[in-house]
Amino acid sequence: MNKKNQPEICPTIVPRRFYNCTLNEKFLYTSFLLLAGLGYLMALAYLYTSFDGIDGKPGLSVEDVAENYYGNRSGTRLESALRGPMASYIEVEQRNHVVEWLKSGALQADYERIIKPMFDERCVMCHSPDSGLQIPDFTSYEGIKLVANVDTGVSLHSLMKVSHIHLFGIALVAFAIGLVFRFALLPAWFQYTLTLLPFVAIFIDIAAWFLTKWDPIYAYTVIIAGGLLGLSWALQILISLYQIWFLRCRPGAPCNDK
């Protein structure tokens, strides 16, 4: 047979493993994985402190997640904030006065007499145009009235803003962790599943934000997807760190790149 017509035969490719990596590579991968893991733990702490108490009860719960996205349709945005992320900035007795004022109709006369002195003391340092922060203006009754309405949760505009940041940012982190994890020596099906799982979990998690905005039952999906993301990253990081420093080439196996 003419050599030109002979079919090409792909050479056997031996995948690189962590025991093939140089010491410099091992330090590089270890440093990145440790910082990525620490970053994820800090993100969990931030989520806990952001969602804790939104439903008016201590601790993080499904109801907290649901109220963040769906809102508290029986309450106001201001009440939800005072019971949740802003709870530490105002005393309990003062918060009760504000909630009582909101439930009584948020009248301007009561605002000038009761609410304004408390807000001037506790809130206007940040909630004013002079602060430069993109948050409600509490220096006037008109500004407070804008958040003294029914709480429908985070706005669609804010969801889209946060979503595209998370899709870009978390996808890049998942890609970088996956690049390191590909050197792990594992059953193929398990490695493929664990590599793909973070990307699937990210998509489901963010899609569930919008679904929870429509129906609070999807808050369970948010929590499950977040748990799958954390579990998959924890396994990838821990397996990689173990194999970087403790995996040795098996007897009879090719241990050098070809």
**Could you report the per-residue pLDDT of 114-138, keeping only the tens digit for each?**
888 888 888 888 888 887 777 888 8
* Same structural domain, 188 and 210: yes
Provide the angle, in degrees to the nearest 10, between the axes of the packed helices 188-214 and 219-246: 150
Residue 76 is predicted with a pLDDT of 77
Question: Per mean pLDDT, which of 54-58, 119-123, 200-204, 212-216 is the most reliable?
Answer: 200-204
pLDDT of residue 238: 97
Q: Which residue has the tokens 């039952």?
A: 217
Last residue in a domain, options 145, 171, 191: 145
24: pLDDT strictly greater than 80: yes
User: Each residue of 221-244: pLDDT tens digit?
Assistant: 999 999 999 999 999 999 999 999
98 and 173 assigned to the same domain: no
- Nearest CA-CA partner of 129 in 118, 140, 119, 121: 140
In a domain, 223, yes or no: yes
Same domain, 47 and 164: yes
| pTM over cut 0.85 | no
The b/e string for 141-159 (b: 16+ C-beta within 10 A; e otherwise) is bebbeebbeebebbeeeeb
Residue 58 lies in a domain: no
* CA 107/CA 113 separation, integer angstroms: 10
In one letter, which amino acid is 147?
Answer: V
